[in-house]
Chains A and B, each alone.
Chain A
Amino acid sequence: QLQLQESGPGLVKPSETLSLTCTVSGGFISSSSYYWGWIRQPPGKGLEWIGSMDYGGSTYYNPSLKSRVTTFVDTSKNQVSLRLTSVTAADTAVYYCARTGEFGEFLRWFDAWGQGTLVTVSS
């Protein structure tokens, strides 16, 4: 069964870079036709899509975050990663990784989610 697990620092200082990793088990990122996305949820608020990428490096980012976001895949570790630069308190959220796409199609739903990790931006 596919499992996704986010990891990374729970506290980041303002203006620094947020870095998270999602480890995928129960399936190989490189052998699938899926995309791997990042979604965040500020405490008590709704969901915001950050971006998605496939193992081949095709990426799609939310324009509202595009200038600060980078995602990449490490197929040797079966991991996808997120970097968000120049963070502020507004970036405080639970960050989820999720599987999306179908047969290589990007515009699809998110059918498997990690448990999420809370990142707080504070000095």
Chain B
Amino acid sequence: DIVMTQSPDSLAVSLGARATINCKSSQSVLYSSNNKNYLAWYQQKPGQPPKLLIYWASTRESGVPDRFSGSGSGTDFTLTISSLQAEDVAVYYCQQYYSTPHTFGQGTRLEIK
């Protein structure tokens, strides 16, 4: 199985500041035939299901604010929130879909400082 490791486990950021969450996979999730990284990011607020934010490592899902961006390739990925809003308080997960079983990171809890 591909192990996904996120850092940090929790993060406190001031409103309007940048938040950065990292995700590292135990093996590359870059598929050479199409040069795409098989990595997604989700946001989960309390009592709610996860919500897809980013797929192909950097493609924003329709309706997701442009303050959310994804970057990285191979084994190292980053989710950046450029200007933190109060409604961004949540747990964030990365997920690889390069191979089965699909695996998720352990989650990063984002709070307001």
Contacts and interface: CB of A to CB of B under 8 A. Distances in A.
Interface in A31-56: 37, 46-49
A110 B100 contact: no
B20 to A, nearest CB: 20
Contacts, number: 53
Given A46-B93, A47-B93, A49-B103, A107 B49 contact: no
Contact of A109 (B48, B52, B99): B52
- Secondary structure of the B side of the interface? loop
Contact of B55 (A37, A109, A115, A116): A109
Given A107-B100, A108-B97, A109-B40, A47 B50 contact: yes
Interface in B84-113: 93, 95, 97-107
A49 B49 contact: no
Given A62-B101, A109-B95, A46 B106 contact: yes
B38 interface: yes
B109 to A, nearest CB: 11
A54 B98 CA distance: 18
A97 to B, nearest CB: 10
B72 to A, nearest CB: 16
Contacts of A48: 104
A60 B40 CA distance: 19
A37 B100 CA distance: 13
B49 A96 contact: yes
A107 B50 contact: no
Interface of B: 1, 38, 40, 42, 48-52, 55, 61, 93, 95, 97-107
23 contacts: A46-B104, A46-B106, A46-B107, A47-B104, A47-B107, A48-B104, A49-B101, A60-B100, A62-B100, A63-B1, A63-B101, A98-B49, A106-B100, A107-B38, A107-B99, A108-B55, A109-B40, A109-B95, A109-B97, A111-B52, A111-B61, A113-B50, A113-B51
Interface of A: 37, 46-49, 60, 62-64, 96, 98, 106-111, 113-116
